[in-house]
Structure 1
Amino acid sequence: MIGMNWIHNVAPLGHHRARRPTEPATPMRHRDFDLDSLEVFVTVAELGNMTRAAGQLGLTQSAVSHVVRQLETAFATQLFDRSIRPMALTASGHRLWHWSKRILGDARQLPAVIGGKDTLFVPELRLGCIDTLAAPFMPRLLQQLRDSVPSFSIAAGLSRQLREQFMARRLDVIFTNESFDDLDQVDSFRLLSEPFVLLVPRSAPDVADEAGLRALSQALPLIRNTVDSSLGRMVDQHLRRLGMEIPRSFAFDAVDTMMAMVAEEMGWSLLPPTALVKSRQHLGRLKVLPFPAASFRRSVFVVARKGELGALPARIHKAGRGILTQGYFTDVLASSPWLKPMISR
């Protein structure tokens, strides 16, 4: 941690006074320095001459030399090779120059960032995503955002879990099935709307109507999501509306396992197309059919706290929609082209 001297001695960058620094009452401790001394060092390093650096900074040459000596004492190493002309940075000097440039650059951004004038600067973006959309969507999204956000942390899980983490401020932006319309201080952008489709083993007969669906449910168990997932609740509620009370046999919290079960002819399932993309390796071993009764859909939203990230949530939404329209569903549509007009992006 930088010493308290860093806090007390910070002067606005670019506003140096012509002065001769006095020797400190006690020797400078390791890493006990201020922004002014780093800017003096960087200027000397880039100009290769203390006299020229002093002229640019409005200091005397002896004051600049004193600052450099202080830094060399603080780090217990030689920063410049003075045996050659023009003098050059040592290996330690190169390392200090690199980090000083970074520290000074960050310091110049502080007034705008803390004052709210640059709300697009986000040192770390904490994203949450429902499991059915996490891959390959999230890697493609991060590829588009990494030029403006230096660091990311990603959480994938159920909508309920993401909501809890978002409300506890452990996540900044989430991709979820919930619109958060019940909260005023939240911005919600619809990313897509998609239907649930019927997945059956390749050996099973096609299901053309509600009677066929009932026959299927008698012949094979339903491979369903767990009841604490929003997908599981949506499927159960819709089947009840159709008057179908199907006994519970298998319930999973991972769509990959659900599709593998169908591929192994262990049952049938209902999932949205984004889940099929995530687990597309199973598509060749099962059949994807339109839901034969009254259809039902789910929407995915981008949710962020209102006004806290500037235009970044809108940019994330735009980038996400672009990803979904640029061949995202190619593998699914290759075997089920009838799905294309049913997916709204």
Structure 2
Amino acid sequence: MTDNSIRSTGSEAKTGTDLTLRGLKTFVAVEETRTIGGAAERIGSSPSSVSQQITALEQAVGAKLFDRRGRPITLTPAGQVLRRHAHKILETVAEAQTELAELNLTALPKLNLSIIDDFDVSLTPALVSRLQAQFRNCFVSASSGRSDVMVQELVSRRSDIAIAAILPDDTSAYWVTPLLRENYFMICAKGVIDPDQEILPQLSALPCVQFSEETHAGHQITQHLRRVRFTPPRRFAFDASRSVYASVVQSGGWALTSPLNMLDAERFAPYIDVHQMPFPALSRRIWLIARSDELGRLPERLATDCRRIINRQTISRIVEIAPQLVNAIEVLHE
């Protein structure tokens, strides 16, 4: 069945007009938004093109589909009949497209992943291994870096799937699902904070090690500190978690960080103390992002694999390193 191969009968024989998938999608958009302008915006078309598609459909079925005299516009009896069939047809076509896409994936020659560097140890190797087992003839490439860079690789089509803490500016062309939420906490060099004394005056006297504001975490933390009106002097900032943790240890300072950051820099765990946030709570989400309708159900299956790996390996390792963080990370489902 192609876009122009659904033919009507009866009155269509007189007009020679076809029922098309494009026409049915336009019909459903108008039926759901109840306005020509709303339908045009939804499907990325113009109001005049939407009107032409509806007119062509009406010629094909030989009856008016909408009563356009009122606002919002409503379905006629013929439109109500077509509504039932249009939804069924479009659902069937979507299922067929997904199955065909999955069939084609068996011969996928290459899959490019962009994954934030916080997952370098805990997620990326296990995920790549699983993909190579599923697609034996597929070359799997995984790049690592900051969230903004990973998302840009996806937007510029240098990667097929991204895992990041931020989303593209326009998500309409992407399939997006959350993987986890993690709460920020505070680390400090071992022994420099007395938990029995008031925390904030002690922090004011210690070096604050910050993530670069070019990173999502750095921007998020800086904005949060401004909101709570605690703005330590900026002395140095780093992109990488390992550099932040190393500097905390060497300078005898403190930093706000996340469980995934801790996992990425676990070699420094013996030299730091973990504390709850001395400020109002702050958290971030990690998302899996893929372009819509290009990889069938692979992104959905990949998200399921990610959640399983995070549950079984990532969280358990974080809690091993710092038992205080047992409730600081949560796997999310769509």
TM-score normalised to structure 2 length = 0.64
Q: Give 1:326 shift.
A: 0.7
What count of residue pairs does the alignment treat as equivalent?
231
Instruction: Report the equivalent of 1:118.
Output: 103
1:172 aligned to 2:157? no
Q: Give 1:118 shift.
A: 2.1
Q: Give 1:266 shift.
A: 3.5
- Aligned residue for 1:147, secondary structure, equals helix
1:232 aligned to 2:218? yes
- Aligned counterparts of 1:117 and 1:201: Cα–Cα separation in 2: 51
In structure 2, the CA distance between the partners of 1:267 and 1:117, relative to structure 1 (3 Å rule), is closer
Unpaired runs of 5+ residues, structure 2, are: 1-96
Instruction: Report the equivalent of 1:308.
Output: 294
Q: 8 Å contact 1:277–1:329 — kept in the other structure?
A: no
1:152 aligned to 2:140? yes
Q: Deviations over 1:34-91 (max 9, x none)?
A: xxxxxxxxxxxxxxxxxxxxxxxxxxxxxxxxxxxxxxxxxxxxxxxxxxxxxxxxxx
Give the root-mean-square deviation of aligned CA atoms: 2.2
Mapping for residues 1-345 of structure 1, pairs under 5 Å: 116=101, 118-121=103-106, 122-149=108-135, 150-180=138-168, 182-207=170-195, 212=199, 214-334=200-320, 336-345=322-331
Q: Deviations over 1:252-286 (max 9, x none)?
A: 11111111122224421111101111111111110
- Moved >6 Å (runs of 4+): none
Unpaired runs of 5+ residues, structure 1, are: 1-111
- Aligned residue for 1:344, secondary structure, equals strand
Letter in 1 for 2:154: F
Q: Deviations over 1:6-32 (max 9, x none)?
A: xxxxxxxxxxxxxxxxxxxxxxxxxxx
- Aligned counterparts of 1:242 and 1:260: Cα–Cα separation in 2: 26
- Aligned counterparts of 1:157 and 1:279: Cα–Cα separation in 2: 15
In structure 2, the CA distance between the partners of 1:241 and 1:310, relative to structure 1 (3 Å rule), is same
In structure 2, the CA distance between the partners of 1:132 and 1:206, relative to structure 1 (3 Å rule), is farther
- Aligned counterparts of 1:312 and 1:259: Cα–Cα separation in 2: 36
Largest Rg, 1 or 2 = 1
- Aligned counterparts of 1:303 and 1:219: Cα–Cα separation in 2: 42
- Aligned residue for 1:220, secondary structure, equals coil
- Aligned residue for 1:333, secondary structure, equals helix
Q: 8 Å contact 1:200–1:267 — kept in the other structure?
A: yes
Q: 8 Å contact 2:155–2:168 — kept in the other structure?
A: no
Report % sequence identity.
26
Q: 8 Å contact 1:119–1:308 — kept in the other structure?
A: no
Q: Give 1:320 shift.
A: 0.7
Q: Give 1:237 shift.
A: 0.5
Letter in 1 for 2:124: M
